[in-house]
Amino acid sequence: QVYDSDCCDSILLELREYLPKYFGVWSPPTAPNDTYLKLEDVTRKFNKPCIMDVKIGKKSYDPYASAEKIQQQVSKYPLMEEIGFLVLGMRVYHMSSDSYETQNQHYGRSLTKETVKDGISKFFHSGYCLRKDVVAASIQKVEKILEWFEGQTQLNFYASSLLFVYEGSCQATTVQLSDVTLAEKRRVPKGLLPGGDVLEYNNNIHVINSTENGKIEASVSKGLSKFYALHKKACSKGHHSQLSLKVENSEQDSLWKTSTCITQEHLNGNVLPQLEKVFYHMPAETKESANVEVRMIDFAHVFPSNTKDEGYIYGLKNLITVLQNILDN
């Protein structure tokens, strides 16, 4: 219905934006009676896709489910009716180890109201730091889906999921920022970014100049990938016991040089708060540029309705609250 060439329903046409693209149906030659939907591979454009599947709604069973089915679904995750969502699994690429960490549905079911924030925040951690740019972009995309649900009363979704995908590798995202934007919206000193400079951010720092009081005055330049290469090279040497951090000034670009692996724990004093201002607390409009996809998937239990899908809306709102807490804290 949604992708029918004759579709003229504005609600369904808008829904296309939040679904994987549809390419018809397919049956395997060995089982011609089995029919599958051919859907877009949302991860295809990513180099190191980080993936999370979150089931949304207060109920994971449809209105026609048997008592046995209802009991089976509720027993899997009783908290579903209280918080409105369940992490079904995730796969996260860690730059620090050049490997994936995978969690299955048992991980999600083990999360409680007290641990769900930390449990989901693992999905946004690169191995070096929390990808707040990705969290912020994810919130914006989930909010758009919430807007769609708030504006429609013809479909109810059960046991359906949101698929989160973002780029986990060190591919710099380039954003144009002005010093006015940063200075006014985030109270960062105007000298931080010259007007019109290009800011590349992917949670690695390349260039900083220091002042006498140790605060960062001018920060961002091109070539974050160079810093990451230096960073990985230092890490591979295995010298984790001490940190030698040397900040140099020169007429040309100054490299932040280190003889060992830099982690968040090592960055202290004035350095970390200043770096976070630049890289993690930028204006919301810049964060949307993070390479993130959030799509609605799994449609085996979608039913016609004449009311809002309150269960799905409830789950989306609670998920947004958790993501916002991750971003804020």
- Summarize the confidence of residues 9-27 as an average pLDDT: 97
- Summarize the confidence of residues 216-242 as an average pLDDT: 43
Residue 166 pLDDT greater than 80, yes or no: yes
What is the rounded distance in angstroms from the CA atom of residue 286 to the CA atom of residue 167? 16
Indicate the average pLDDT of the chain: 76
The residue assigned the tokens 């504006």 is: 151
Task: Report the pLDDT value the prediction gives residue 257, as an integer from 0 to 100.
Answer: 35
HSE-up (13 A, CA, CB side) for residue 94: 10
**Reported pTM:** 0.67
Q: Measuring CA to CA, which residue among 121, 138, 149 is closest to residue 314?
A: 149
Task: Report the pLDDT value the prediction gives residue 171, as an integer from 0 to 100.
Answer: 58
The residues, ordered by sequence, that sit 6+ positions from 229 with a Cβ below 8 Å of its Cβ are none
- Do 183 and 189 touch, CB atoms closer than 8 A? yes
Higher pLDDT, 298 or 256: 298
What is the rounded distance in angstroms from the CA atom of residue 49 to the CA atom of residue 52? 10
Q: Which CATH class is domain 42-170+289-328?
A: alpha beta
Task: Report the pLDDT value the prediction gives residue 11, as an integer from 0 to 100.
Answer: 97
Task: List, for residues 242-292, the tens digit of each pLDDT value.
Answer: 333 333 344 334 333 333 334 444 444 455 544 444 444 444 444 445 799
**Beta-ladder partners of 25:** 37
- Do 164 and 292 touch, CB atoms closer than 8 A? yes
The SS3 of residue 15 is: helix
DSSP string of 91-115, one letter each residue? EEEETTTTEEEEE-HHHHHT--TTT
- Summarize the confidence of residues 205-216 as an average pLDDT: 39
What is the rounded distance in angstroms from the CA atom of residue 210 to the CA atom of residue 271? 10
Domain with CATH 3.30.470.160 in the chain: 42-170+289-328
- Summarize the confidence of residues 170-176 as an average pLDDT: 48
Residue 235 pLDDT greater than 50, yes or no: no
Task: Report the pLDDT value the prediction gives residue 290, as an integer from 0 to 100.
Answer: 75
With residue 279 as reference, give the H or E element that holds it. helix 271-279
